[in-house]
């Protein structure tokens, strides 16, 4: 049995086999916007929901994949491409990573949504070396093959007026599950982010706990007011349904007090979480040095470890 079987094969026995290649991923190039101030990115109220209904497809009949027919992959690296998703007001853009032998396989894969920091783009993860790290970890059988989605947020406005969360929940996730061979169950979908992206991960992971099984916040201070909202969000989540949570931050990070407050609120609510305080600063050097740990933690949720 290969490394993939031991992580997600039980879920594969119930998976639907669809087409082997996405139909809408096209190459595009993006540029970063000017860095906003903390005041402009953190002030917010709970946003109104935009009702966006993506097209759906009728699933194929169930065809189990016997363990003995699993393909032995000979490729060393995955593929990182840009995507464009049609939306009623334009296009949603970002990057998506597919694992080695994706186009030659009929397997379904877990998904990890990774969100970038303020004034950055989806290319921040590539610049940190994510694709090389994930290729190495898959090759070494440290993690299972997975699909990683890195959406771009380019609307630097207060959350009351910011549609990014609605875009991700109502349009992007359904599109990914339709166009790619994913494992669409909550357990096999994770969300995490750096700095502002971590703020989004906590907010979306709590408000949409039924969608994500794991969420990670890396050097995240949380959006203005969300620390006060967090206890109410936790009360609204059914018992034993709170996602797995990973928090880390550096000792020299200016947002350390906010991150410690987040940790304390979760602990006071008896939420089990993984907390790490490391040397370093709020910068790319810190995040790139911990990519391996992040990926190992996210993937542990898919193996039941």
Q: What is the pLDDT of residues 84-124, one digit of tens each?
A: 998 777 788 999 999 999 999 999 999 999 999 999 999 99
Give every CB contact of residue 182 below 8 A, 6+ residues apart in sequence: 108, 109, 110, 111, 147, 176, 188, 189
Residues 261-272 as b/e (b if ≥16 CB within 10 A, e otherwise) read ebbebbeeeebe
Give every CB contact of residue 68 below 8 A, 6+ residues apart in sequence: none
Rg (CA), the chain: 19
Q: What is the pLDDT of residue 219?
A: 98
Residue 54: pLDDT band with limits 50, 70, 90? very low
Cα(154)–Cα(34) distance, integer angstroms: 10
Average pLDDT across the chain, whole number? 82
Q: 9-23, 136-150, 161-175, 216-230: which has the minimum mean pLDDT?
A: 9-23
Cα(250)–Cα(203) distance, integer angstroms: 21
Ramachandran assignment for 101, one of left (phi > 0), alpha (psi -120 to 50 degrees), beta (any other): left
Residue 304: pLDDT band with limits 50, 70, 90? low
**Correct CATH for 3-10+71-229+242-303 of 3.40.50.970, 3.40.50.1820, 1.10.10.10, 3.20.20.140:** 3.40.50.1820
């Amino acid at each position: 049995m290969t490394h993939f079987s031991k992580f997600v094969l039980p879920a594969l026995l119930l998976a639907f086999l669809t087409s082997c290649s996405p139909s809408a991923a096209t190459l595009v190039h993006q540029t970063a916007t000017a860095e906003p101030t903390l005041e402009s990115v953190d002030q917010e109220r709970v946003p109104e929901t935009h009702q966006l209904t993506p097209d759906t497809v009728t699933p194929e009949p169930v065809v189990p994949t016997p363990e003995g027919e699993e393909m032995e992959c000979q490729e060393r690296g995955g593929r990182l491409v840009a995507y464009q998703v049609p939306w009623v007001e334009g296009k949603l853009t970002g990057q998506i990573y597919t694992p080695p032998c994706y186009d030659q396989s009929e397997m379904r894969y877990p998904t990890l949504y990774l969100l970038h920091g303020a004034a950055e783009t989806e290319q921040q993860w590539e610049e940190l070396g994510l694709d090389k790290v994930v290729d190495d970890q898959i090759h070494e059988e440290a993690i299972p093959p997975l699909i990683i989605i890195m959406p771009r947020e380019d609307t630097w406005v207060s959350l009351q007026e910011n549609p990014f969360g609605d875009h991700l929940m109502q349009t992007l996730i359904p599109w990914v599950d339709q166009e790619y061979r994913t494992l669409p169950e909550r357990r096999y979908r994770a969300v995490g982010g750096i700095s502002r992206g971590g703020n989004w991960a906590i907010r979306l992971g709590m408000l949409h706990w039924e969608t994500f099984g794991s969420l990670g916040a890396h050097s995240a201070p949380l959006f203005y007011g969300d620390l006060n909202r967090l206890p109410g969000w936790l009360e609204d989540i059914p018992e034993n349904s709170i996602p797995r949570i990973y928090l880390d931050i550096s000792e020299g990070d200016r947002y350390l007090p906010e991150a410690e407050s987040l940790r304390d609120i979760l602990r006071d609510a008896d939420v089990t979480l993984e907390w790490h305080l490391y040397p370093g600063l709020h910068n790319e050097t810190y995040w790139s040095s911990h990519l391996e740990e992040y990926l190992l933690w996210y993937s542990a949720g898919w193996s039941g470890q």
